[in-house]
Amino acid sequence: MTQLRRYFLKIKRVVRDFVILSFALGATWYVFHFSLEHIDVAAIASTLVSVSVTLLGFIIASVAILVSLNDRLLIKNMKRSNHYVTLICNMKWTAYFLSLSSVGALVTLFVPISYQLVCISVVVFFVVLSFSAFFIATNRLWQVMDILANKD
């Protein structure tokens, strides 16, 4: 039974990742083929910078909270079963994607107008990946926090 459950969990992850990647590529294609003016691109890029940096701060704060809970039994058991490493790795990739999104949006603000549409398309791709990674990582963190809150 456990092998069948693991198999279905792997299928679920593959389908989820395929849907996220398809949505990211679709959003990138839509933005690239949608005619935006310079003012629109600049407004979108500045908004994406502020949102990405704010979410990056939340991820850094959540890692700090998780590291401060090392003495709890749940965290020790998570380390033994390698779930802790998985959670930290998810947060690390989320931080990477959010950093790429914010840096890419900053670059978009300063490149010549002829390259802005290409840059904002790449930024939208990384924004979709970073937001999906953010929701997955924070969902797992909230599950851990919920278990810790119910044990106390």
Q: Where are the chain's structural domains?
A: 2-151
List pLDDT tens digits, range 18-30. Answer: 788 887 888 877 7
**Phi, psi dihedral angles at 82 (to 5 degrees):** 70, 10
Say which amino acid occupies 30.
Y
- State the Cα–Cα distance between residues 67 and 84, nearest whole angstrom: 10
Are 124 and 36 in contact by the 8 Å Cβ rule? The answer is no
CA distances in angstroms from 91 to 7, 43, 137, 141, 142, listed in the order given: 24, 28, 6, 9, 13
Of 17-26, 72-81, 140-149, least confident by mean pLDDT is: 17-26
Q: What is the pLDDT of residue 54?
A: 95
* Distance in angstroms (rounded) separating the CA atoms of residues 51 and 57: 10
Predicted TM-score (pTM) of the model is 0.81
Residue-wise pLDDT for 91-143, tens only, equals 999 999 999 999 999 999 999 888 888 888 888 888 888 888 898 888 888 88
**For the chain, what is the mean pLDDT?**
85
Q: Is the dihedral of CA 113, 115, 119, 121 positive or negative?
A: positive
What is each CA distance from 49 to 55, 116, 118, in whole angstroms?
10, 15, 17
